Amino acid sequence: MAEIAQRPTGVAVTVEDDGARPPSKANSRRGRSWPRAVVLTLGAVAFLFPFYYMVVGSLQKTPDTSLAGAFPTGGLTLDNYTAINERVNLLRSLVNSGIFTSVVILLTLVFGLLAGYAMARLSFRGKGSLFATMLLIQVVPFQLLIIPIYVMVVRTYGLGDTYLGMILPYAINSTAVFIFRQFFLQLPEDLFSAARIDGAGELRILWSIALPLVRPAMLTVTLLTFIGPWNEFLWPFLITKDQDLQPLAVSLANYISNIAGRAANPYGAILAGSVVLAAPAVALFVAFQKHFTSSDLGSGVKG
């Protein structure tokens, strides 16, 4: 198993795979590793079983909730996927989720990177207060501001039922700005002072020195930013009444709370929708797990 996640950069950043510390000799000599293995395995089962059960439930024609029902030997069908697709336009909802998510990622990558660079490497008026505001945001959750934001976006600017209104409050992910800032702080100062002595302007330094190095951080930021809009429920739920604009999380939730009762196999259809909603996120994080480790995140969140 590939244990060591090396970041593809030649920069002097000390990167450890999260937890990649080999067990110390003292530990292995005592050989007391089985309780640890039990704890870890139980944990993995508790985390993964519901996902396995989600897939199994989505493939069963009639729900079998006994323990044996979780390990079916046959009779699996895709009917539930057809059923949910009749009630919720899966493709349309996925496209909406995709638009919402990709615009937020794009805006975060561009403006978040610039802000993170400025806060790490440049000295300018207002830097301190900007950083303080960014810290404060971490403890004042967005959900608590939904009423005034709803008043502004829907009532004042009339942006209800638009992509713009959906995207606006999410446009730049603050944790991403943190991660960019942290990344640029870790770059050696010599790199920048050398360029300045050579007479390079600040824009030039950003473009030809900082940007080429930032790629691994961009992947981490993309992954982290993806979670927000793709999974968000409350805000798009408030702002979209038009079904053609609803992201999948919203249309599935509406199905769960309103119409599921009338379906032949409600849980099967709901679980089929859940698989469609969860699969892209899970696939993305499994494929790019190297870029979502504690060292990528920890530094960012700690600021």
Partner 1 sequence: MTATTAGERRTEPPPTRRRTSWWTTLLGRQPLGIALSAPYAVFLLAVFAYPLGLAVWISFHDYFFAAPGADVARPFVGFDNYTAVLSDPAVRRSFLNVAEFLVINVPLTVILAMVLATALNAAARGRTFLRVAYYVPYVSASVAVVAVWLFLFNSDGMVNHLLGPLAPNPSWLVNSTWAMPVIAIFVTWKQLGFFILLYLAALQNVSKELYEAASVDGASTWRQFRDVTVPGVRPATTLVVILSTVTGANLFTEPYLLTNGGGPDGASASPVLVMYQRGIEQGNPDLASAIGVILVIGVLVISLINRQLLERD
Smallest gap from Cβ 52 to partner 1, in A, equals: 10
Q: How far apart are CA 17 and CA 37, in angstroms?
A: 20
Instruction: Please report the DSSP string for 54-87 in residue order.
Output: HHHHHHBSS---STGGGS--S-B-SHHHHHHHHH
Residue type, position 97, single letter: S
Smallest gap from Cβ 303 to partner 1, in A, equals: 10
Residue type, position 268, single letter: G
150 contributes a contact to partner 1 by CB under 8 A: yes
Nearer to partner 1, 18 or 79 (CB): 18
214 contributes a contact to partner 1 by CB under 8 A: no
- The secondary element (H helix, E strand) that includes residue 12 is none
295 contributes a contact to partner 1 by CB under 8 A: yes
231 contributes a contact to partner 1 by CB under 8 A: yes
147 contributes a contact to partner 1 by CB under 8 A: yes
Candidate residues 13, 103, 256, 263; the one interacting with partner 1 per rule CB under 8 A: 256
Candidate residues 62, 65, 77, 258; the one interacting with partner 1 per rule CB under 8 A: 65
228 contributes a contact to partner 1 by CB under 8 A: no
Report the site for partner 1 in 159-188 (rule: CB under 8 A).
168-169, 171-172, 174, 177
Q: Which residue has the tokens 């000599």?
A: 29
Give me the helix-helix angle, 34-59 and 266-287, nearest 10°. 130
Residues 6+ apart with CB under 8 A from 69: 60, 63
Nearer to partner 1, 95 or 152 (CB): 152
The closest alpha carbon to 92, from 222, 240, 235, 239, belongs to 240
241 contributes a contact to partner 1 by CB under 8 A: no
How far is the CA of 32 from the CAs of 25, 26, 35, in angstroms? Answer: 12, 10, 7
285 contributes a contact to partner 1 by CB under 8 A: yes
72 contributes a contact to partner 1 by CB under 8 A: no
Q: How far apart are CA 17 and CA 291, in angstroms?
A: 10
Candidate residues 10, 74, 189, 257; the one interacting with partner 1 per rule CB under 8 A: 257
Smallest gap from Cβ 238 to partner 1, in A, equals: 6
Nearer to partner 1, 83 or 177 (CB): 177
Which residues of 116-248 form beta strands (DSSP E)?
none
